[in-house]
Amino acid sequence: MAATYQKLTQARLKALPVGERLSEHGIVAEKTKDGDIRWKVATMVDGTRIHRVIGRASEGVTRTQAEQAIEKMRTDARAGRLDLPAGRKTHMSFGEAATAYLDRMERTGGKDLANKRRHIEQQLLPAFGKTRLDSVTPYAIQHYSHGRAKVASQATVNRELSTLSHLLNRAVEWGWLRSDRKPSIKKGDEPRKKIVVLSDEQAERLLMAAKNDQDARLHLFVAFGLNAAMRHSEIVAVRYDKIDFDLNRVFIPLAKAGEREQPMTLALTAMLRSQREKEADRDGWVFPSEQGSKVPHRLSMERGFARAVVRAGLDPSKVTPHVMRHTAITRLVKAGVDLPTIQRISGHKTLAMVLRYVHVHGSHIDTAISAMEVGRPDAITPKLHTPLADNDDGKDAGAGQAIEKAMVEGAGFEPAYTCVGRFTVCCL
Chain segment 210-235, per-residue pLDDT in tens: 999 999 999 999 999 999 989 998 99
Name residues whose C-beta falls within 8 Å of residue 213's C-beta, 6 or more positions apart in sequence.
219, 304, 307, 308, 311
Domain boundaries, the chain: 10-82, 94-181, 200-366, 382-427
- Which of residues 287 and 350 earns the better pLDDT score? 287
- Which of residues 264 and 47 earns the better pLDDT score? 264
Judged by DSSP in three states, 178 sits in coil
CATH code for the part of the protein at 94-181: 1.10.150
* Residue 57 C-beta-side C-alpha neighbours within 13 Å: 14
pLDDT the model gives residue 418: 43
pLDDT in tens, 66-92: 888 888 887 766 655 545 555 555 678
pLDDT in tens, 142-188: 999 999 999 999 989 999 999 999 999 999 999 888 888 899 999 98
User: Is residue 104 a contact partner of residue 170, using CB atoms and an 8 Å limit?
Assistant: yes
Instruction: Please provide the DSSP assignment of 114-174 as one string.
Output: HHHHHHIIIIIHHHHTTSBGGG--HHHHHHHHHHHHTTS-HHHHHHHHHHHHHHHHHHHHT
pLDDT the model gives residue 394: 46
Residue 359 has pLDDT above 90, yes or no: no
The pLDDT confidence band at residue 101, using thresholds 50, 70 and 90, is very high
CATH architecture, range 10-82: 2-Layer Sandwich (3.30)
Q: Which CATH superfamily is domain 200-366 in?
A: Intergrase catalytic core (1.10.443.10)
Q: Average pLDDT of 235-245?
A: 93
pTM listed for this prediction: 0.53
Query: Minimum mean pLDDT among 147-156, 224-233, 322-331, 343-352: which range?
Result: 343-352
